[in-house]
Amino acid sequence: LRASLDDWLQRFRAGERRAAARLISIVEDGGDEARDVLDALHPAIGRANRVGITGPPGAGKSTLVDRVATVLATDTLVGVVAVDPTSPFTGGALLGDRIRMGDALQQGRIFFRSLASRGSLGGLSLHTSEVVDVLDAFGCGTVLIETVGVGQSELDIVEKAHTTVVVLVPESGDSIQTMKAGLMEIADVFVVNKADRDGAQRLADEIAAALDLRFGRRPDPASWRPPVLLARARDNDGTPELIAALQRHRDWCATSGERRRKDRRALESRLRDLVHDAVQREVWSDAAATRLFAQGLQAIERGETTPYRVADSIVREWTKQPAGRERRA
């Protein structure tokens, strides 16, 4: 098995596409082999520009991502990670809908991967970062991470990106509400898509006015003021402007030190997630903890104790134990 993993790693380093797909699958499956892959690839991780694209369902994110990926793919390998495309409600884009990327996808310049958001042990956010890591190590210059920005875990994902694009449409609703809700804090670039519809210019103006309030009309040249772009992704209108904005933000991140800060924050958050994962696994592989859990459930149901007290007793019992303690068979 080990020999076979080494073989895949070697083929991966040689740029073999099938090896990339294989290693991504291993990472998606999790467990010891996933960990071995990520450890082995670690020195090669960190070069890709990670761009999160988020917005409400129906804003045209997939189309926009496909347009951008297709253009970028003329210069570099591009990774596209679509998170939660199988959510019950988003209606999501399956690979079949992605034929716009057709040529570049065929020629192996774009790697597309969709991640379901259900049931991933270590949390969706950790999981996504790890898949992006593999694409990064494979040499993708840019990885586009597309999420429906509604849930907490989806927002965690975009916050780990270097650049976050927020896509809105005139129907997104009351923009003032949007402002209040913290979008201003996560967006590096705004795109008002479906810009031929009523209200598009008004939405863009409102966002710009809110940005004026925040940055002033003559912003500090050292700070980044998110541009507000109009686009009609379906007609491929606005793609060059978006790509230029991504490039400017990338350059600004590099020169301002923001990239280093973001990478540090993402690493901290990743390491924290890994520790939480590992410590949880430790607890549930401990025989005493497992027994206390089962007994505690029954005691709670009999009304003899409370969930908090049981949780405490499990943690107390567990942390009291020296190394080499009893293990579940």
Distance CA 37, CA 306 (A): 42
Of 66 and 154, the one with the shorter C-beta distance to a copy of itself is 154
Q: How far is the CB of 35 from a copy of itself (least distance, A)?
A: 5
Q: How far is the CB of 285 from a copy of itself (least distance, A)?
A: 11
Q: How far is the CB of 316 from a copy of itself (least distance, A)?
A: 8
Of 18 and 264, the one with the shorter C-beta distance to a copy of itself is 264
Q: Judging by beta carbons within 10 Å of its beta carbon (0-12, 13-18, 19+), is residue 64 exposed, middle or buried?
A: buried
Of 7 and 282, the one with the shorter C-beta distance to a copy of itself is 282
Which tokens belong to 321? Answer: 């134990």
CA dihedral of residues 238, 239, 240, 243 (deg, nearest 10): 120
Q: How far is the CB of 37 from a copy of itself (least distance, A)?
A: 10
The β-bridge partners of 189 are: 165
Q: How far is the CB of 240 from a copy of itself (least distance, A)?
A: 26
Q: How many CB atoms lie within 10 A of CB 220?
A: 9
Output the CA–CA distances (angstroms, integers) from residue 175 to 134, 165, 205, 273, 291, in the order listed.
Answer: 37, 16, 10, 34, 52
Do residues 168 and 186 lie in contact, with contact meaning Cβ atoms separated by under 8 Å?
A: no
HSE value, Cβ hemisphere, 13 Å, CA-based, for 54? 27
For CA atoms 257, 124, 11, 108, the dihedral sign is negative
Q: How far is the CB of 158 from a copy of itself (least distance, A)?
A: 10
Q: How far is the CB of 192 from a copy of itself (least distance, A)?
A: 14
Among candidate residues 264, 274, 54, the one with its CA nearest the CA of residue 152? 54
For CA atoms 126, 127, 128, 129, the dihedral sign is positive
**Three-state secondary structure call for residue 240:** helix
Output the CA–CA distances (angstroms, integers) from residue 159 to 109, 166, 196, 233, 300, in the order listed.
Answer: 26, 12, 30, 24, 39
Distance CA 325, CA 186 (A): 45
Of 287 and 315, the one with the shorter C-beta distance to a copy of itself is 315
Of 1 and 181, the one with the shorter C-beta distance to a copy of itself is 181
Of 173 and 240, the one with the shorter C-beta distance to a copy of itself is 173
Of 209 and 297, the one with the shorter C-beta distance to a copy of itself is 297
Q: How far is the CB of 77 from a copy of itself (least distance, A)?
A: 23
Among candidate residues 222, 239, 243, the one with its CA nearest the CA of residue 230? 239
Of 198 and 301, the one with the shorter C-beta distance to a copy of itself is 301
Q: How far is the CB of 181 from a copy of itself (least distance, A)?
A: 4
Which tokens belong to 298? Answer: 């029954």
Of 83 and 195, the one with the shorter C-beta distance to a copy of itself is 83
